[in-house]
Amino acid sequence: MRFSHSLKENYLFRRLYRRGDSLANGFLVLYCRKNGLKENRLGITVSGKMGKAVYRNKIRRRLREIYRLHEEEFSCGFDMVVVARTRGMSADYAQLEKAFLSLGGKLGLLRGDLG
């Protein structure tokens, strides 16, 4: 991730949940908020209820890779948290990619007409 950093602090996640904009679809929930920086910060959460660590890490890796490949399409200056839903565990890569980019476009995170 060239233009981004990981979001790791619990208080940043809580602030996004409380004050950020959000949208959801069947696979994901995306929270976002301007951060006043020249870079994006991305956090990914997958509940322990969604299975063993192997499966949770698999969806986490997929979401991180989707963001990495499309990073240049996202506007700078946002904190984002992606929350995987239960249906996301059975989704393939293309479905997750479409869901992620669709939510990003609807929230106005993407540059141009990609939403």
pLDDT (0 to 100) of residue 4 = 83
Q: How far is 23 from 38, CA to CA, in rounded Å?
A: 23
pLDDT (0 to 100) of residue 114 = 46
Domains and CATH numbers, the chain: 4-106 (3.30.230.10)
| Residue 4 · residue 67 · CB < 8 Å | yes
Question: Beta 28-34 vs 78-84: how paired, if at all?
Answer: antiparallel
This prediction has a pTM of 0.90
pLDDT of residue 112 exceeding 90, the answer is: no
